[in-house]
Amino acid sequence: MSFWNKLKKPFFVMAPMADVTDVAFRALVAKRGAPDVFWTEFVSADGLYHTREIAKMKDAENPLMRDLQFDKSEHPIVAQIFSSKPEMISYATKLVAELGFDGVDINMGCPDRAIERQGCGSAMIKNPELAREIIRAAKGASDLPVSVKTRVGYNKESLDEWLTALLEESPAAITLHLRTRKEMSLVPADWEHMKKAVEIRNRVNPGVLLIGNGDVRDIEDGRAKVAESRCDGAMLGRAMFGNPWVFAGRKSEGTPLVDKLAALTELAYGFEKITPPKNFAILKKHIKAFVTGFDGAADLRAKLMQAESAVELERAILDAPVPRV
Ligand SMILES: Cc1cc2nc3c(=O)[nH]c(=O)nc-3n(C[C@H](O)[C@H](O)[C@H](O)COP(=O)(O)O)c2cc1C
């Protein structure tokens, strides 16, 4: 029995987000209220193979292995990988199992052109036979439970064919980002699709967990969306921006500024410890999210955007004429 079957429903999980849910950000969230499941950023299975087996790059210097670092306090944790080649999925799944992850997730929803050109991400929706092979390869490679994150269709909702194909391979869980590929993130997520997805799941393979994703603002909102659509849990992504307390039930506006600035400083120091190092500019989206909604926010934001290290960022925060309580 995998950790998936032990979760109390409804459960609330962390969305995988490239350059967001790294080891530093996850530590910040873990301390303030852990999700029921942690997720890594997505990692290229082909990239892992080529850097480790062909280029013989040392793991300590490999940015892809960096994206698979996690702390002991972060369990259960799922590693998200992508590839259009079953043998690469098999390779990466074995590696993820050796690293001590609790599950492996396959990205079948990313709309990025560079990912799609490799036949990965959303492109998989157009190739259900290959998607099925990929799931089988992951399941055969280790004992880890395999999950899939995808969208409701490519140009239009196609749950009848697409979700059925996935369900027939019996992954432990499927996360549905409730938009099509074509919609990108330009229209609101449509949770009505989840009602249909649950009907299909109940008919085709009732053992598979269904997780809804898209525009969940906080836990209260997630609880309502799950109850209405009758899925098993919700995944929160952008709701974590500026609100690492979200899984503890806090709404984005419910935190004193002083706590937000302290969280941002802690994140910056954690970020600097990541090896091999990541570009400090990646923190800008967090600066935007934490430093907003108060008198002087725009000025402080502009100053913090100039910071090139955690010390500089902390100094700018300490010097800022903003309310401290
Ligand atoms: C900056 C950013 C990075 C993302 N990276 C990933 C990723 O690596 N893997 C993935 O499956 N989805 C990724 N997503 C999509 C999110 O996981 C999620 O599906 C999407 O943001 C909708 O959920 P939300 O409305 O709760 O944010 C990313 C989204 C954003 C905004």
Q: pLDDT tens, 164-213?
A: 999 999 999 999 999 999 999 889 999 999 999 999 999 999 999 999 99
* Same domain as 301, residue 175: no
* Same domain as 142, residue 274: no
Q: How far is the CA of 135 from the centre of ligand 1 (A)?
A: 21
Q: How far is the CA of 184 from the centre of ligand 1 (A)?
A: 11
- Picking from 282, 306, 325, the residue whose alpha carbon sits closest to that of residue 23 is 282
Q: pLDDT tens, 115-154?
A: 999 999 999 999 999 999 999 999 999 999 999 999 999 9
* Same domain as 194, residue 68: yes
* Same domain as 24, residue 115: yes
Out of 214, 248, 282, pick the residue that ends a domain.
248
* Same domain as 195, residue 61: yes
Tell whether the model's pLDDT for residue 325 goes beyond 80. no
- Give the pLDDT of residue 186: 86
- Give the pLDDT of residue 324: 60
- Tell me the average pLDDT across 250-272: 94
Ligand 1, atom nearest to 235 Cα? 26
- Give the pLDDT of residue 295: 87
Ligand 1, pocket residues at CB < 6 Å: 15-18, 20, 41-42, 80, 107, 109-110, 149, 177, 213-216, 236-239
Neighbour tally for 256: CB within 10 Å: 11
Domain-embedded: residue 92: yes
Out of 248, 268, 284, pick the residue that ends a domain.
248
Domain-embedded: residue 1: no
* Same domain as 225, residue 283: no
Residue spans of alpha helices (H) in 99-233: 113-116, 128-141, 159-167, 192-204, 219-229
Spatial separation of the C-alpha atoms in residues 148 and 191, rounded to whole Å: 18
Q: Is 19 helix (H, G, I), strand (E, B) or coil?
A: coil
* Same domain as 281, residue 149: no
Model pTM? 0.97
* Same domain as 176, residue 36: yes
Instruction: Give the residue, by CA position, lying nearest to ligand 1 atom 4.
Output: 17
- Give the pLDDT of residue 1: 83
Q: How far is the CA of 188 from the centre of ligand 1 (A)?
A: 14
CB-CB contact of 212 with 178 (8 Å): yes
Q: For residue 274, give its domain range.
A: 257-319
Q: How far is the CA of 319 from the centre of ligand 1 (A)?
A: 34
Out of 193, 228, 248, pick the residue that ends a domain.
248
Q: pLDDT tens, 32-91?
A: 999 999 999 999 999 999 999 999 999 999 999 999 999 988 999 999 999 999 999 999
- Picking from 18, 13, 7, 5, the residue whose alpha carbon sits closest to that of residue 33 is 13
Structural domain total, the chain = 2
* Same domain as 70, residue 149: yes
* Same domain as 240, residue 284: no
Domain-embedded: residue 324: no
Tell whether the model's pLDDT for residue 287 goes beyond 70. yes
Domain-embedded: residue 242: yes
- Give the pLDDT of residue 320: 85
- Tell me the average pLDDT across 202-226: 98
- Residues annotated as catalytic are 110
Ligand 1, atom nearest to 189 Cα? 25
